Homo-oligomer: A and B are copies of this chain.
């Protein structure tokens, strides 16, 4: 590798694959570092080296049977990657469909929740008339994007940031019950805060370890950050929007007056800002065109022949030589068995803990201890996209301290006639509170709170579909949730293979709830199983 030319004639992938064959993953890393082109995110993505398709000799291949429990994204990723390497995989999936929580509700989608609540979605037909009941967005650096790319899943931006959305809080002083455009709250809070600090720095009121020149630079930044006047006052800003918009001829526009400092501080709007700052909530984000289930559909196209649907796992057995899964056909009730060498179990721990299984005591204890988050969503179909027509809001969210917490305007189908708005996306106690209501009450609750922000809702509402994940069979919860302490105690146990069984899924990752958590977890398991097989 002492000459660069041959490298440049290969594609990056060809090149890295070649290096990997010669020197293994470590060499790939080192070489990528040398090239200096690649970001940590790429390194992360490249960290997974699929099993070499030539590794499995015919001797190996005989009997390298892997039973995968669950045709969600983790199970299908494992099946896809192992399948490419020549493994004989079977996926047992309890439902008649793949995807698990990656679930798009459309016209005709039927679901009966634990507890008996039954719904059939009455949304109109149409490519954009859906509710993504589980995950709905992809950070651009997640491994999910790799498979979308590889499988040709068309994506479009998910409008996670929209300054034209509202903040609306109750019982917060002077601004209670006022819907305020996000831009207005941000301009005012940033303005006042910049003013306070700029003045303090300028007057040397703070004991800062800065040189005079650095202080000048800091004040210059604060002036821009807060849109301050030359004498360092925040007097409102065009950033906060207008009472009368600027436009043609003599329409110079009339800026809104800023809220007074006490009101805006007391409003609590400021603590909403940081939700957009989180690493995995920052723009740009994406989602598949036509519904999030385009992703499991793309996987299923490649691994569908390995899936046995309607197969509900009843027992998970193992000994020194193999695994044995007892399952029933959910439709016929017939009991069957399947044996193999290894088992990848992606069943949510909230469900798995009740399935008889040959886990070590340590593993069984750990499985029993993991908390699952509660989360719920409601899709509200409106016969008119009033948020676009009346209020020029194209995607994004409005946030509130009411129980519904947040509403998301559809990030697709702009200018369409109708739309399905995400009326709430609630977690924790709010999710349990709303989720415990009958369907009609959930709908009324969502509409009554939404109406405070958008009085149009009653006039325009047509149909809803709500999901309470704690009550969804085969999930019984939204995602695996760990305290920092649990990451040290029970989590490492869950990550270790237990005999021939490997746990897998978003709950076996440091990015729980995300599709990429399932993918990254599966890739780890694929590598572990393959390395084990190669050593045998």
Contact = CB atoms under 8 A, between A and B. Distances in A.
A183 B155 CA distance: 23
Contacts of A523: 248
A80 to B, nearest CB: 15
26 contacts: A36-B455, A37-B455, A39-B390, A40-B244, A41-B245, A41-B392, A43-B245, A47-B247, A140-B393, A159-B284, A164-B282, A193-B221, A205-B205, A214-B262, A217-B265, A225-B273, A241-B279, A247-B516, A247-B521, A248-B508, A249-B524, A250-B492, A252-B487, A283-B283, A283-B396, A284-B394
Contacts of A221: 189, 193, 265, 270-271
A389 interface: yes
A242 B280 CA distance: 11
Q: Which of A186, A270, A521 has the most CB of B within 10 A?
A: A270
Interface stretch (A57-65, A143-151, A471-479): A143-151
Contacts of A238: 278-279
A283 B285 CA distance: 13
3 nearest interchain CB pairs? A248-B520, A247-B520, A44-B245
A225 B275 CA distance: 9
A273 B162 CA distance: 16
Interface string A298-325: 0000000000000000000000000000
Contacts of A334: none
Interface in A446-487: 455-456, 459, 487
Interface of A: 8, 12, 36-45, 47, 140-141, 143, 145, 148-149, 152, 155-157, 159, 161-164, 183, 186-187, 189-190, 193, 196-197, 200-201, 205-206, 208-210, 214, 217-218, 220-222, 224-225, 227, 238-253, 261-262, 265-266, 268, 270-271, 273-274, 277-279, 282-284, 286, 386, 389-396, 411, 414-415, 455-456, 459, 487, 492, 495, 508-511, 516-517, 519-525
Given A37-B386, A43-B245, A238-B278, 17 more contacts: A37-B456, A39-B392, A40-B242, A41-B392, A42-B390, A157-B411, A162-B284, A187-B277, A210-B265, A221-B270, A224-B270, A224-B273, A242-B279, A247-B516, A248-B521, A249-B508, A249-B521
Contacts of A390: 12, 37-39, 42
A49 to B, nearest CB: 14
B265 A214 contact: yes
Copies of this protein in the complex: 2
A38 to B, nearest CB: 6
A44 B248 contact: no
Contacts of A517: 247-248
A266 B220 CA distance: 11
A495 B247 CA distance: 12
A455 to B, nearest CB: 6
Given A206-B200, A220-B271, A162 B283 contact: yes
A473 to B, nearest CB: 26
A508 B249 CA distance: 5
B524 A248 contact: yes
Given A162-B284, A183-B282, A217-B266, A392 B253 contact: no
A246 B280 CA distance: 11
A487 B5 CA distance: 59
B249 A495 contact: yes
Contacts of A245: 40-41, 43-44, 141
